[in-house]
Amino acid sequence: MEHKTRIKGNVHYVGVNDRNKHRFEGMWPLPYGVSYNSYLIDDEMVALVDTVDICYFEIYLRKIKQVIGERPINYLIINHMEPDHSGAIRLIKQHYPEIIIVGNKQTFGMIEGFYGVTGEQYLVKEGDFLTLGYHKLRFYMTPMVHWPETMMTFDETDGILFSGDGFGCFGTLDGGFLDTRMNVDKYWGEMVR
């Protein structure tokens, strides 16, 4: 079955669009809305990269299950703790209690403080890697891009960088998630802003 979420191989986009919020974190106007970007790697071991705002959890879970059905998710990789990325951690943990959370030494205290989530952890530092089967992921610390705990995950197998907020801007993803198949004009001004 062909998935509408496929980026490349078994890497899927499972993010959601928010067209309801007027201001991001109550401060930043959102004339074009905002997307919460999360990715699912459907390998021998399944990994979820970042999550979405908690308000969109039902849609999010549906998108995940459209890819993996009732298979468990083995790893939840947290590149960034800002709530538009991390907001669904607690609910993901409730639905997948065996999930192992992947983060760096800054991440776990924030997860417990923000969401009261503890449990099995995989602590990574600069250059560490995680093999899912076909995919080999390597982690790079990027503190203050844009919070102290931020890191990036590089899929060395398919050459995909999961960059968190590193190149981020506001705006929904209308009709797709690959820049080669979208009109990206509206994002440039947003990126400058």
Q: Report the candidate in 7, 6, 9 with the shortest Cα–Cα distance to residue 66.
A: 6
Closer to Fe ion by Cβ: residue 134 or 187: 187
Site for Fe ion in 156-185 (CB under 5 A): 165
Residue whose tokens read 């790697």: 41
| Cβ count within 10 A of residue 34 | 23
- Taking CB under 5 A as the binding criterion, the range among 23-31, 37-45, 76-84, 121-129 that sits at the site for Fe ion is 76-84
CB of 19 to Fe ion, least distance (A): 20
Structural contact between residues 74 and 108, judged by C-beta atoms closer than 8 angstroms: no
CB of 170 to Fe ion, least distance (A): 11
CB of 69 to Fe ion, least distance (A): 31
* DSSP SS3 for 43: coil
Residue whose tokens read 């990715």: 39
> What DSSP line would sit under 104-159, residue for residue?
-TTHHHHHHHHH---S-EEE--TT-EEE-SS-EEEEEE-TTSSSTT-EEEEETTTT
Closer to Fe ion by Cβ: residue 82 or 190: 82
Q: Which of 126, 146, 161, 193 binds Fe ion (CB under 5 A)?
A: 146
Binding of Fe ion by 190 (CB under 5 A): no
Closer to Fe ion by Cβ: residue 68 or 169: 169
Q: Which of 54, 82, 83, 190 binds Fe ion (CB under 5 A)?
A: 82
Q: Which residues bind Fe ion (CB under 5 A)?
A: 82, 146, 165
